[in-house]
């Protein structure tokens, strides 16, 4: 790779690091091509990118980005999972993949500029997705209104039932 190609790679990586909300560094030693391809497709399905990169180029690309704290963890064969939308998605996919393929090692992560440990990545993976959390919040916000409307309709229903009973009672007496 010549100098201009390296500069293009660094620029491209820097742009990815600038826009990423989550970056998780992994060691992929021991995985074969089929397993890495499977991992990539699983990550791609959630909007993530998994990229194997040269450590020296990645370290240069990390400089001046919120993900710069990852620089010290780029040793040996490294690959980084990036996501710029859902911060939970790469953690979920990687922890699930590690259960099936223990050869993959999750080293460290970075969530919006803050370094997160392996345990924090596991906790992040246990969270519901953003969409699920929003749906739960909306359901919680909607519950009092729904309950109030239901209570009001119950009163009206009882009133109508009482009026119907009075009407039926008067028709029987006539």
Flag whether pLDDT at 26 surpasses 90.
yes
Rounded average pLDDT over 2-25: 89
User: For all residues of the chain together, what is the average pLDDT?
Assistant: 87
**139 and 119 assigned to the same domain:** no
**25 and 79 assigned to the same domain:** yes
Which residue is associated with the tokens 């239901």?
A: 150
Name the nearest CA neighbour of 25 among 96, 106, 87, 94: 106
Dihedral angle, C-alpha 167, 168, 170, 174, nearest 10 °: 130
For the whole model, what pTM was predicted? 0.73
pLDDT, tens digit, for every residue of 125-147?
888 777 788 888 888 888 888 87
**22 and 107 assigned to the same domain:** yes
**99 and 151 assigned to the same domain:** no
Rounded average pLDDT over 115-119: 91
**120 and 152 assigned to the same domain:** no
- The domain containing residue 167 runs over which residues? 130-174
Which residue is associated with the tokens 């050869």?
A: 103
Cα-trace Rg, the chain? 28
**90 and 140 assigned to the same domain:** no
User: What pLDDT score was predicted for residue 169?
Assistant: 81
Residue-by-residue DSSP string for the chain: --HHHHHHHHHHHHHHHHH-SEEEEEE-TT--HHHHHHHHHHHHHTT-EEEE--HHHHHHHHTTSTTGGGGGG--SS-EEEEESS-TTHHHHHHHHHHHH-TTSEEEEEEETTEEE-HHHHHHHHHSPPHHHHHHHHHHHHHHHHHHHHHHHHHHHHHHHHHHHHHHHHHHHH-
* Distance from C-alpha of 158 to C-alpha of 104, rounded to nearest angstrom: 64
Predicted confidence band at 112 (pLDDT cuts at 50, 70, 90)? confident
**123 and 135 assigned to the same domain:** no
**80 and 96 assigned to the same domain:** yes
Answer yes or no: are the C-beta atoms of 35 and 100 closer than 8 Å.
no
User: What pLDDT score was predicted for residue 173?
Assistant: 66
User: What pLDDT score was predicted for residue 174?
Assistant: 60
**113 and 141 assigned to the same domain:** no
**111 and 151 assigned to the same domain:** no
Q: How far is C-alpha 69 from the geometric centre of its chain's CA atoms? A: 21
């Amino acid at each position: 790779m010549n100098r201009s190609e390296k500069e293009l790679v660094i620029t491209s990586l820097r742009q990815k690091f600038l826009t990423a909300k989550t970056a998780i560094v992994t060691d992929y030693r021991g995985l074969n091509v089929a397993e890495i391809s499977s991992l990539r497709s699983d990550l791609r399905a959630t909007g993530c990118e998994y990229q194997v990169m040269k450590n020296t180029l990645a370290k240069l690309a990390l400089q001046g980005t919120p993900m710069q704290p990852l620089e010290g963890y780029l040793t040996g064969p490294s690959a980084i999972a990036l996501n710029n939308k859902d911060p939970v998605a790469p953690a979920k996919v990687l922890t699930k993949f590690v259960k099936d393929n223990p050869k993959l090692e999750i080293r460290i992560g970075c969530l919006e500029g803050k370094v997160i440990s392996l345990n924090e990545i596991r906790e992040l993976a246990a969270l519901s997705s953003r969409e699920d959390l929003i749906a739960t919040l909306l359901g919680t916000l909607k519950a009092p209104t729904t309950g109030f409307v239901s209570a009001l309709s119950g009163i009206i229903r009882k009133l109508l039932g009482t009026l119907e009973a009075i009407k039926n009672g008067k028709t029987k007496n006539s």
